[in-house]
Structure 1
Amino acid sequence: MTTTADLWYHYGRTRAATDRGVPEAFRWSWGQDSGPGPEILGALNGRIVGDLGAGSARHAAYLAAHRQPAGIDAIDASPAQCDMGTSLYGHLAPRLRVVRSDVIAHLRTAVGVCDALYSVFGAIDFTDPRKLLPAAAASLRPGGRLVFATLSTYLNGEPAQPDVDPADIPARTPGGEPATMPRWVLQEQVWTKLLDHAGFTRINVDVLPGSPETLLASAHRAPG
């Protein structure tokens, strides 16, 4: 059986060795130092929330500790990231649940369950949005909210794509060998069209300043 290398094995590992506390802030911008906070998600008390591509679950840990959702699933396909999240924030269970799963597969098991979904440079960036966004819409209750932060341009300054095309970006295997993974960096109007086709309404996309700039998109599942 062929297995896929965990291309997120190295991500965040150095930070996790020294910074093990629950974050004191939640930011959407690339630099994580400015812009709006979790209030964009709306009131989360008693709600069911999903973090799409949660990495080591730092954003999910903040929400679990400070926003009192009924439950929040920190979903990530990377074994290394899920192990890190469990090590860092396992004490926040059962409110916080670290879920090792392909994001689309998980959403398809939770149809009409979630009140809010979000991604902070997570699965929205690294999963075909033509598949992910409809799965997210189906997982939300009518009126439920999706919010995501994604790149406005590529990290090297190249402009975003005018079509739904990914670019291969550098990555490393657990052993350090060079590899690539796809990343979707799309223009604002492309995201708006994708969200509309997936069944979302009240779509809004803002640009947050920074280097690079961040696209912050929010939308609601259409009623009915």
Structure 2
Amino acid sequence: MEVVEAWERYAQGRMPRRETNASGAATWLNWTQYPDHGPDESILGELRGRTVLELGCGTGCNLAHLTTLGADCTGVDIAPSQRGKAVARWGRLPGLAFHTAEVTDYLTHTEGSFDVVLSIFGPVWFTDPEQLLPLIHKRLSPGGVLAFSHKPPTAGTRPVGTLREARAVTRWDYSPEEWSRLLASSGYSNLKAEVIPPPGGEDAGTLLVRAYAY
């Protein structure tokens, strides 16, 4: 499958996350494209005892952190090699599982529900939202939160483009207003979409979106 091969090539070119961050922590969650920048997991609310699904989990570093906070975590990634890397680095942690699957297929066929679904520069950016957002909504528990981030569109960009590193992959470059409209039409409420300013010396911020299923 061309899309799987594209993401596998992209995954092979990615550098592993550092062993520790600037504060010396071995696990952490980062919503932006810059290290040690932006909000942390606290925007998701209390995590202990909650079920979390990450779409596009990569090597599992974000989920590993949430697991240490008491969450029961599941990660899904389309690139086959990512699961092996995630298990090798984080497989010792309890309450953490990884799967290789395309996200719409996983959401269609998996059972149960999740309190939190997140996607950090992941499939919410690269999957038709009119198909994906309703599928996520069906898997969210009442009051559950969907949170995702990606680069905001810049002047002159079209809403739909292609990932430079994986040209077989379509990207949905939507503004905060466009995401809010799409989420509302898919049944979400309490929407919040904001652009996190970049650190000094950088040009691009990060679009962070949260919405709830009631």
| TM surpasses 0.5 | yes
Q: What amino acid is aligned across from residue 185 of structure 2 in structure 1?
A: H
Paired residues of 2:146 and 2:212 also in contact (CA < 8 A): yes
Show the counterpart of 1:191. Answer: 179
Show the counterpart of 2:212. Answer: 220
Show the counterpart of 1:102. Answer: 102
Q: What amino acid is aligned across from residue 70 of structure 2 in structure 1?
A: Q
Q: What amino acid is aligned across from residue 171 of structure 1 in structure 2?
A: E
Paired residues of 1:171 and 1:180 also in contact (CA < 8 A): no
Pair 1:182-2:170 in alignment: yes
**What displacement does 1:110 show?**
4.1
Correspondences of 1:1-224 after superposition (within 5 Å): 4-11=4-11, 15-16=15-16, 19=18, 23-65=26-68, 67-69=69-71, 71-93=72-94, 95-110=95-110, 113-153=113-153, 157-161=154-158, 165-171=159-165, 179-210=167-198, 211-222=203-214
**What displacement does 1:188 show?**
1.2
Paired residues of 2:11 and 2:79 also in contact (CA < 8 A): no
Distance change (3 Å), C-alpha of 1:19 and 1:151: closer
Q: What amino acid is aligned across from residue 208 of structure 2 in structure 1?
A: L
Paired residues of 2:6 and 2:168 also in contact (CA < 8 A): no
| Aligned-residue RMSD, C-alpha | 2.3
Structure 2 distance, partners of 1:47, 1:33, is 25
Paired residues of 1:112 and 1:138 also in contact (CA < 8 A): no
Structure 2 distance, partners of 1:137, 1:80, is 28
Distance change (3 Å), C-alpha of 1:102 and 1:23: farther
**What displacement does 1:60 show?**
0.8
Distance change (3 Å), C-alpha of 1:47 and 1:137: same
> 1:159-206 CA distances to partner (integer Å, 9 max, x unpaired)?
454xxx42122235xxxxxx4421111111110011001110000111
Show the counterpart of 1:176. Answer: none
Distance change (3 Å), C-alpha of 1:159 and 1:74: farther
Paired residues of 1:108 and 1:139 also in contact (CA < 8 A): no
Q: Any unmatched runs of 5+ in structure 2? A: none
**What displacement does 1:50 show?**
0.3
Paired residues of 2:27 and 2:61 also in contact (CA < 8 A): no
> 1:198-221 CA distances to partner (integer Å, 9 max, x unpaired)?
110000111101131111111100
